[in-house]
Amino acid sequence: ADFDSKKKRKVAEIQQALSSDPIDVAALRRMAISEGGLLTDEIRCKVWPKLLSVNTDDLPPLPGKELREDNKDYQQVLLDVRRSLRRFPPGMPDDQREGLQEVLIDIILHVLKRNPQLHYYQGYHDIVVTFLLVVGDRLATALVEKLSTHHLRDFMDPTMDNTKHILNYLMPIIDQVNPEVHDFMQSAEVGTIFALSWLITWFGHVLSDFRHVVRLYDFFLACHPLMPIYFAAVIVLYREQEVLDCECDMASVHHLLSQIPQDLPYEALIRKAGDLFVQFPPSELAKEAAQQQAEQTAASTFKDFELASVQQRPDTVLRQRFRERPRGEERTKSILTKPRTNRFVKLAVMGLTVALGAAALAVVKSALEWAPKFELQIFP
């Protein structure tokens, strides 16, 4: 009964945010982040376009088969889509699934044709199929195009340099929270490649339960483009004991971490990922992540959380306290890494949904003003 009443209250809040004038995007982002996410695919069809600032009254026509002629990506897309059987609901009739796979190919080729600066990568289809199954073909085409030119853009560069750079954030995050796990992984020389498929498919490729996939998509769509790497870090941290009990060699640790558990406590991990983002924003991790091309990542062109959430009271208190701490070598990790006792961390948890909503809203309200800049920077 309590769950039902919470659900009804949340649905009412989402409807209120959608019907306000202008639409309350900050509230929608809070709803997408908070426990349970957006609840149903029917709601996602209404809210996901708002999170990506896509006008549903002016959708592009459905892509046609002519895109397949002389297309350099067609054969690879075809192979990947044919291998995507497990991404469709079990029990779906073969003819229905095959029809959706054909549509999936057309959507991918359409986005690539309209955006020649984007390069297809294996795993991209795992993201596109999620949108197709949730919102249908025409809306999926528009949402995927916007997502591809923003959040996913770094994965669609001609090289994997920016993708590798984003992976470089993983170990500094782990180090801030649990130096023992960090040092163990460093000793094992496991690297970060185990998390590559997690990152570039937003976990769509590695999670078998579609409900968990769309719950994470709610979260990621409402947040900074680097949030998936924070979520990857909290998965590793959650498995602390398994990692430390493993043989300290690359093969053993890689095998353990690449087999992602399917029974993760998703809501708790989402809260933890957001908490870590508040404590250790990308700007504070950039040096440790060896950020040599800061100007060329989508994350750097997104309004930084640190600036965008400055007016939110819980986060302002947190940030003010952090600024008052001594900087440099004398600041010890122990001060920042006691989530059970540190009252500033508790403040971060309390303020998370408000602050993240504000960060995202700053981007939407500015009409995605950063987009032209980063396209010029990356694609002169």
Please report where in the chains the tokens 């404590």 appear, as a residue.
279
Supply the DSSP string of 327-373, one letter for each residue.
PSTTS-HHHH--TTT-HHHHHHHHHHHHHHHHHHHHHHHTTSTHHHH
pTM for this structure? 0.77
In the chain, where does the domain assigned CATH 1.10.472.80 lie?
160-296
- Domain range 1-150, its CATH number among 1.10.10.10, 3.30.465.10, 3.30.70.920, 1.10.8.1310: 1.10.8.1310
Fold of the 160-296 domain = Cyclin A; domain 1 (1.10.472)
pLDDT at 302: 54
Round the average pLDDT of the chain to a whole number and report it: 81
Q: Rg (Cα) of the chain, in Å, rounded?
A: 21
Residues 104-120: tens digit of each pLDDT: 999 999 999 999 999 99
What whole-number distance in Å separates Cα of residue 84 and Cα of residue 205?
A: 9
Q: Which of 321, 301, 179 is nearest to 244 (CA)?
A: 179
What whole-number distance in Å separates Cα of residue 197 and Cα of residue 167?
A: 11
Residues 161-186: tens digit of each pLDDT: 999 999 999 999 999 999 999 999 99
306 and 281 Cβ atoms separated by less than 8 Å: yes
Supply the DSSP string of 73-111, one letter for each residue.
THHHHHHHHHT-GGGSPTT--HHHHHHHHHHHHHHHHHH
pLDDT at 1: 64
Q: Give the other-Cβ count within 10 Å of 271's Cβ.
A: 18
What whole-number distance in Å separates Cα of residue 267 and Cα of residue 269?
A: 5
Residue ranges in the chain whose pLDDT is less than 50: 291-296, 304-380
Contacts of 38 (CB under 8 A, 6+ apart): 14, 31, 32, 44, 47, 48, 218
Q: Give the other-Cβ count within 10 Å of 164's Cβ.
A: 14
In the chain, where does the domain assigned CATH 1.10.8.1310 lie?
1-150
Contacts of 83 (CB under 8 A, 6+ apart): none
pLDDT at 77: 95
pLDDT at 334: 38
pLDDT at 65: 77
pLDDT at 71: 86
Is the bond into 22 cis (omega within 30 degrees of 0)? yes
